[in-house]
Amino acid sequence: MLLMMMQIVRHGFPFNPTCVAYDPIQRIIAIGTRGGCLRILGRPGVDVSLKHLGPFAIIQLIFLINDGKLISICADDSLHLWNLNTNHPFILHSLKFQRERITFAHLPFQSKWLYIGTERGNVHIVNVDNFQLSGYIINWNKAIELSRKTHPGSVIHLSDCPADSNKLLIGYETGTI
């Protein structure tokens, strides 16, 4: 009896890409797709294809710089922490948001706190070490001017404040910062 060995070959850019992340120290790039696939490319020989359990689009990818870990945020409002330090990368931790839809996330350089912006305009904080939500929430009405009474919309951007690294810059859908 003759056994045939099949090898699956992937080449080119992934189908329906939705987001990209880059680790400048390790020089690897991660590409997320609408179907929940994750492709990691690096130096010659580094080409890994992974798949989330559900068919949900990956909306954002964030590398833990030079740590061999990657955070993927999916359209079903789940976060996954991938360990890329092995031959077969796997998910270390997962966290599912129940009450609010995730719109944007930010991980400051060498920080253990991941900031999660939501559709309601709030910012939740996740400890990256144990992947647990902290009890602290930045509510939209506490983050903007007290004179503004209308909802600013969802969080569309989070970053370190260029003038003061101890502050968080929050961009809202209406343009309010």
pLDDT digits (tens, 9 = 90+) for 88-124: 899 999 999 988 999 999 999 889 999 999 999 999 9
d(CA 136, CA 155): 17
d(CA 32, CA 17): 6
d(CA 14, CA 32): 8
Per-residue tokens: 71: 């955070």
C-alpha dist (Å) from residue 175 to 87, 101, 149: 44, 19, 15
Give the predicted TM-score (pTM) of the model: 0.86
Angle at the Cα of 118 from the Cα atoms of 116 and 120, rounded to 5 degrees = 150
Per-residue tokens: 100: 């609010």
Percent of the chain surpassing pLDDT 90: 54
The pLDDT value given to residue 12 = 64
